[in-house]
Structure 1
């Protein structure tokens, strides 16, 4: 019977999506049910967890406490066959059982119903298996499919949904009516469309499961740094200040102002143009300001509206590309009108094609020296011959 259920599940998961639900229910309902299995006086939960589920002895000892009432292998055998039918490996099953031992006592009707519902939402077998791993205890609860019917359109695709759940599986147990929906409605009031909300929540998965009053406080903090609701940068600015106190955000703004020698107006412009500067560490900001102002020679007023460069890697982009520019200019190989900003904003592929490859003959070591500079080695000793 266990093998039959597993075979049925495997077959259905690889059938056309439209037939999943009806076929699953029909086949499972027409299968002759197993007779009740009496308690097995020789059955030891801890030994079963080790021998059959693949848990270590310490894991089994801890897990066995939660399912001490289990007296027979009948139900856990059925669950294990079900998980195998989903395509989960032995290691995956062991991880699931160690985290949620009560899964072995789950209702097969609930499990198969959830799989049928997910298949009906056009989720692939591998996506369903990943969801089971992510959902863990939540998957054995009946509301999971109805919740996914809400989340799937919100995040746009099963892959986006799985990405969010990987970071915050608590979304599956959050109160949609009292927490999630009010947060989504508020974000829409802030001028974010469905795409913006999805992007924000993919980067901040726990935002939707946070108390609505705290989400409103985050929006107020976003406005306090000069980014208004409805502006194109509101999403990124809210991402930058989320889950940080107003005091810490204010302190970061003050540090930016002092470190880059900006006026109040200039620091406001810098934050508006690139809100993620608020997330950079003080040490990184200090080293970046010293490099851009003291070594590159940029004016603070020039940097403020171009604050995106402050968020770029100092060692991996700002310094190496500056040294390439400096080298090429010193040897008459670079047009003096080329701005440093355009150079550091170029993709790696474009940068190499425009500033490294054309000079292979004149400067045969340039590519090698650039790579070394990106690793933090001999950044100023570029060789011409």
Structure 2
């Protein structure tokens, strides 16, 4: 299996571009406007109630000539404000589609109730709808309610559905029956534990809305690479195959070769921590060069602990290196910690082990003061 995977490292990735999509959000500055007469009363309403500029208000009121009922528009805006929609959120909704001003209160109320029944607060619903404006256009009976039922059947409770929608409201309008459900079944048939599937659903949900044949190919490749199916990293490997082209993978592989890594090393790193391969080749190179440049961590250390490549240079790796160099220069430590401890321990753990015991001697050093100041939870 190792030989097969190694021989095909440069050819197994696909690039279906599943996450590329066209935005349908309309903009006043880009939409072609016909010669229509603005409604003065609607204009005044948008200017006074939503702080529109006169030009934007005029354009909004002229885009839909049937929008001629300022009383209804005022009622709609007042009702939404009563339900925790802010002025900024309402501006977004009206800019996206001024027809909202012609909606009935009952229609909006029934739409909000669907989400209230999940346990979402009015503020959460307002945030969800304003960030995913197509929810107002999606059919309650044919799209929203069926999708919510599918999600509840998968996740188990209204609370879990609400938790997902707070982060990813677009699930409400996506065709889950053709994407999410078949893709979950593909993973389950491969023996992937349901807890791992749900872990990815919350963490990288767009991995589930690709076409089923793409999911199937990605799963097959992760298996061929030898990533353990019982490990949560299998799911992340599958997700990586969704979005990494053969050319991108080859560039990263060549970067590793140039830095002294073998193809076996790359394969071992991928199996342990596929997420680090999401970074660009340049970012990966910068982190590896930084670690190798210490003289404390070599290729073998990085292969054994690829998780270190997932951390930020400026916020974690470099500050810790500076502190260890300072301790070493003062003969306060004889050896540096292993790469896993160095990179993965929390800031509090690092402080407790490498700063607190020596604080009286090095506490005035600039790097120490800066490190402590940047971590408010740390107590000297």
| TM surpasses 0.5 | yes
Distance 1:66 1:101 in 2: 8
Provide the secondary structure at the position in 1 that maps to 2:355.
Answer: helix
Which residue does the alignment assign to 1:233?
A: 233
Q: What SS does the aligned partner of 2:94 have?
A: helix
Q: State the 1:330 CA deviation.
A: 3.8
Find the counterpart in structure 1 of residue 30 from structure 2.
none
Distance change in 2, residues 1:294/1:179 (3 Å): closer
1:77 aligns with 2:61: no
Check the 8 A contact 1:154/1:194 in 2, yes or no: no
Maintained 8 Å contact 2:135/2:173: yes
CA contact (8 A) 2:93 2:130 kept: yes
Give the aligned partner of residue 369 of structure 1: 367
> What's the offset of the Cα at 1:337?
7.6
1: CA distance between counterparts of 2:208 and 2:338?
42
In 2, are the aligned partners of 1:86 and 1:129 still within 8 Å (CA)? Answer: yes
Root-mean-square deviation over aligned CA pairs? 3.0
Q: Relative CO higher for 1 or 2, CA cutoff 8 Å, sep ≥ 6? A: 2
Change (3 A) 1:198 1:90: same
Partners of 1:182 and 1:113 in 2: CA distance: 30
Secondary structure of the equivalent of 2:243? coil
Query: Could you tell me whether the CA contact under 8 Å between 1:49 and 1:60 is conserved in 2?
Result: yes
Aligned to 2:244: 244
Aligned partners of 1:255 and 1:282 also within 8 Å: yes
Match of 1:379 in 2: none
- Would the aligned equivalents of 2:214 and 2:242 in 1 still touch at CA under 8 Å? no
Larger radius of gyration: 1
- Provide the C-alpha distance between the structure 2 equivalents of 1:244 and 1:324, rounded to a whole number of angstroms: 36
d(CA) in 1 for partners of 2:63 and 2:145?
Answer: 26
Query: What do the CA deviations read for 1:146-176 (whole angstroms, capped 9, x no partner)?
Result: 42333356462523322122xxx2x322222
Equivalences, count: 329
- 2:119 matches 1:122: yes
Q: How many angstroms does 1:355 deviate by?
A: 1.0
Cα deviation digits, residues 182-202 of structure 1 (max 9, x gap):
223223334444443343233
Output the CA distance in 1 between the equivalents of 2:189 and 2:162. Answer: 26
Structure-2 residue corresponding to 1:16 = none
Deviation, 1:349, is 0.9
Please state whether the residue corresponding to 1:351 is helix, strand or coil: helix
Change (3 A) 1:127 1:305: same
2:267 corresponds to: 268
Q: Residue 7 of structure 1 aligns with which residue?
A: none
Q: Secondary structure of the residue that 1:178 maps to in structure 2?
A: coil
2:224 & 2:372 partners in 1: Cα distance? Answer: 37
User: 1:88 maps to which residue?
Assistant: 85
Deviation at 1:57, TM superposition (A): 3.0
**C-alpha separation between the residues in 2 aligned to 1:270 and 1:106?**
55
Gaps of 5+ in 2: 1-37, 374-380
